[in-house]
Amino acid sequence: MAWLVLGVSILFEIAGTVFLKVSDGMTRLTPAIGVGACYLLSFWLFAIAVRRIDLAVGYAIWSAVGTAGIALISVGYFAESMTWIKVASLALIVAGVVGLNIGGAR
């Protein structure tokens, strides 16, 4: 169950970050409210998830999946560039998460 909660937390973190972009520097009220609501829910759910998941592993997954998700959304939806250096950097992030998991998650 903790892994499901972590997954939902990640979805809210990604949604909050998309709202952050759409809020135009927090000048648009509705997306700005979305930023606050999504981040609040994300952190609350993350706090619940790390009751059962090691903090280092949980945070690595939360931040890595969020980073990769936002990278893909930024390319697909916001038409931002994706270079080979960005792809390689994302691969290194994934490798780090795998390493932390191999190191011992409970």
Q: pLDDT tens, 26-64?
A: 999 999 999 999 999 999 999 999 999 999 889 989 999
Residue 105 has pLDDT above 70, yes or no: no
Q: Check: pTM over 0.85? Answer yes or no.
A: yes
Whole-number Å distance between alpha carbons of 98 and 60: 9
Residue 106 has pLDDT above 70, yes or no: no
What is residue 78's predicted lDDT score, i.e. its pLDDT? 95
Total domains present in the chain = 1
Q: Has residue 16 got a pLDDT over 90?
A: yes
pLDDT for position 104: 64
Angle at 73 between CA 56 and CA 8, to 5 degrees: 45
Spatial distance between the Cα atoms of 6 and 34, rounded to a whole number of angstroms: 19
> 28 or 104: whose pLDDT is higher?
28
Per the structure, the complete domain to which residue 37 belongs is given by 2-102
pLDDT, average across residues 89-102: 85
